[in-house]
Structure 1
Amino acid sequence: MNKSTLPLPPPVFLLIGVVAVSFSSILIKWSEAPASILGMYRLLFTVLLFLPFLPWREMKILFKNSTLKEWLMLAVSGVFLGLHFLFWMESFSHTTVASAMILTALEPVFVVIGAYFLFKEKTSKVGIISILIAVSGSVIIASGDIGVSKTALYGDLLSVLGTVAVSVHMLAGQELCRKMPSIIYSFAVFLIGGLVLFVYNICTNVSLIQYDIKDWWIFLLLALIPNIFGHALFNWLLKYVDATTISMAILGEPIGAIILAYFLLGEMTTVSQLVGGMIVMISVMIFLKYKAAELEKVMALQEKSNIS
């Protein structure tokens, strides 16, 4: 990885990305539009912003040479990305920013579970223990929300379903990301996800255009801030820093979102959210660090065997 060509140190770009994605939940809370509309326009507006920068000739060659399996994986990745936005954005209508955001930190847990069943990837005892601890933290959050209302618990469930959906999106796309530039992959799955939500809105008779000017600005800002200056920036940084570093940085999103929710929405954090959130965040950090150490060992062994 070439870190010398960056105009600024990597932590500066990581901080920009974390702040950008942290604004996602705030923008969702500010809008009165349905979650399916927010998700649809967030994805489709991002697609429009990508258009001037797409390598069209490379895309044509890449898609022409793609196998049926790769097309299916691309479709699955895009469909579940759309479902992620549908469930996750809807969760904010029922629960707090703190609960919805902390529960999304469980994504590595679901990815590991899915990788075990789909790709037979084994996890060490340390990894399993950290996963169990993370799950216990989410249970603490949910149990605290039971005391708030059944609606809050329903919002927690939607957040978890959204996290499961984005985990499937990640698993389906992990091989594709190695075979195509990140902008082409992102463009394709954003387009598919946006079309999935478009069909959902048509089938459920959700209005596509009757929204206030404030909501249209929020649709655009969701595409521009958390998608372009957040997720697209993280994808670009993969050329300069390792994926684990970015994963660790993204764990700052719930913290940033909770701070912004306090100042911009006046949302207070409960004791169960604080305790459960700390347990989830610490356990996931331990898990990611351990996975990074395991990966370094594997790469060192491979280099040693190549030399010998």
Structure 2
Amino acid sequence: MQRSYTKSFILFHFIVVIYGFTAIIGKLIHMNALQMVWYRMLFAAISLFIFLKWRKINLSIAEKDILKLIGIGLVVAFHWITFFGAIKIANISVTLGIMASGTLFASILEPIFFKQRINWLEFLIGIGIVLGLYLIFSYEIHYIKGILVAILSSILATLFTILNKSYTHKFTPTLISFYEMTGGFIGITIYLLASQQFNHELLTPSVSDVIYMLLLGVICTAFAFAVSVDVMKELSAYNILLAINMEPVYGIMLAYFIFGESEYMSGGFYIGTIVILLSVFLYPMVKARLKREKLKSA
């Protein structure tokens, strides 16, 4: 039974809230970022494998494509490690505020990868994001290390999105994610073995950590992704962009109410975050308006 557009939009916002909740879970888990991502990718890969088998989707793809997807999976792994690392070093609010800057890095990296001209609308939006980042840096300089790690995480998230573009038309998104999760898991496992960190501590997490990591891998990764792919078929690109841009807002609000004082930030931080979010929200609005004007003049 097909859902209405409104129901799909509400459901997608719920999924975005789940994405925002990953930062909350990341702070609740006592393991370090590397161990956390190892478990997240393990549980996500298993869940996606079960889903693919249930839907009877063929797992066979060319070996060269598997290797490339594994490589992208390593980028995802590094992105998540730096994301959760930034939360541990600074806090949720700082990390999510910086993560909203992905549009800026996309405006720089996308023309490089696809050999395109710089989009001046994206460049102008990027200036607004730089202003917001400057305000965050100015008022939260004591979080400098966490801010820098969060910026690296945002760059890696943008890189992952760009690299994934070449595969979204070739394979189903769930199949792509399965190989990426598996690739990231294998990569982290090799690193843990080589650095002698594959030890008793890793394999004997606390009961609470296991519960949180199951939520992170199964609900916040595999389930959220599968549902988001499904509802995206019924939504416009514009509404998808607007909903995704709400992730840091939902995450910061949840962190504020759950963790209280540790997430209270200076007024300058919130001004900087608002400037970044306004810049990000303006992008699809201005782009849609320019497109309409272009169609009218044609």
AA aligned to 1:275 is: I
Distance across 1 between alignment mates of 2:264 and 2:179: 38
Secondary structure of the residue aligned to 1:178 is coil
Distance across 2 between alignment mates of 1:235 and 1:226: 14
Distance across 1 between alignment mates of 2:292 and 2:170: 22
Distance across 1 between alignment mates of 2:118 and 2:285: 13
Distance across 2 between alignment mates of 1:71 and 1:46: 17
How far the C-alpha of 1:161 sits from its partner, in A, is 0.7
The 1:85–1:26 alpha-carbon spacing in structure 2 relative to 1, beyond 3 Å, is same
Deviation per CA, 1:17-65, whole angstroms, max 9, x where unpaired? 12211211111111110101111111110111122221555322xx13x
Count of matched residue positions in the alignment of Structure 1 and Structure 2: 289
How far the C-alpha of 1:127 sits from its partner, in A, is 2.0
Q: 1:117 maps to what in 2? A: 112
Distance across 1 between alignment mates of 2:118 and 2:287: 9
Distance across 1 between alignment mates of 2:119 and 2:269: 28
Secondary structure of the residue aligned to 1:170 is helix
Secondary structure of the residue aligned to 1:122 is coil
Give runs of aligned pairs for residues 37-48 of structure 1, distance below 5 A.
37-48=35-46
Q: 1:58 maps to what in 2? A: 58
The answer to whether the 8 A contact 2:74-2:187 is kept is yes
Q: 1:108 maps to what in 2? A: 103
How far the C-alpha of 1:290 sits from its partner, in A, is 3.5
Distance across 1 between alignment mates of 2:145 and 2:287: 32
Q: Is residue 237 of structure 2 the alignment partner of residue 243 of structure 1?
A: yes
The answer to whether the 8 A contact 1:73-1:173 is kept is no
The answer to whether the 8 A contact 2:73-2:180 is kept is yes
How far the C-alpha of 1:77 sits from its partner, in A, is 1.6
Aligned CA-pair RMSD: 2.4
Q: 1:74 aligns with which of 52, 59, 69?
A: 69
Q: 2:226 maps to what in 1? A: 232
How far the C-alpha of 1:281 sits from its partner, in A, is 0.4
Distance across 2 between alignment mates of 1:102 and 1:210: 33
TM-score normalized by structure 2? 0.88
Secondary structure of the residue aligned to 1:241 is coil
The 1:204–1:115 alpha-carbon spacing in structure 2 relative to 1, beyond 3 Å, is same
Distance across 1 between alignment mates of 2:2 and 2:289: 26
Distance across 2 between alignment mates of 1:41 and 1:281: 31
Q: 2:165 aligns with which of 167, 174, 192?
A: 174
AA aligned to 2:104 is: V
Q: Is residue 251 of structure 2 the alignment partner of residue 254 of structure 1?
A: no
The answer to whether the 8 A contact 1:44-1:191 is kept is yes
Q: 2:30 aligns with which of 15, 29, 32?
A: 32
Distance across 2 between alignment mates of 1:277 and 1:288: 18
Q: 1:85 aligns with which of 80, 90, 100?
A: 80
The answer to whether the 8 A contact 1:98-1:273 is kept is no
Q: Is residue 268 of structure 2 the alignment partner of residue 272 of structure 1?
A: yes
Secondary structure of the residue aligned to 1:188 is helix
Distance across 1 between alignment mates of 2:223 and 2:265: 27
AA aligned to 2:248 is: P
AA aligned to 1:189 is: E
AA aligned to 1:234 is: S
How far the C-alpha of 1:11 sits from its partner, in A, is 2.0
Deviation per CA, 1:59-91, whole angstroms, max 9, x where unpaired? 22xx13x7x4x4454233211001101111111
AA aligned to 2:19 is: V
TM-score normalized by structure 1? 0.86
**Identity between Structure 1 and Structure 2 (%):** 21
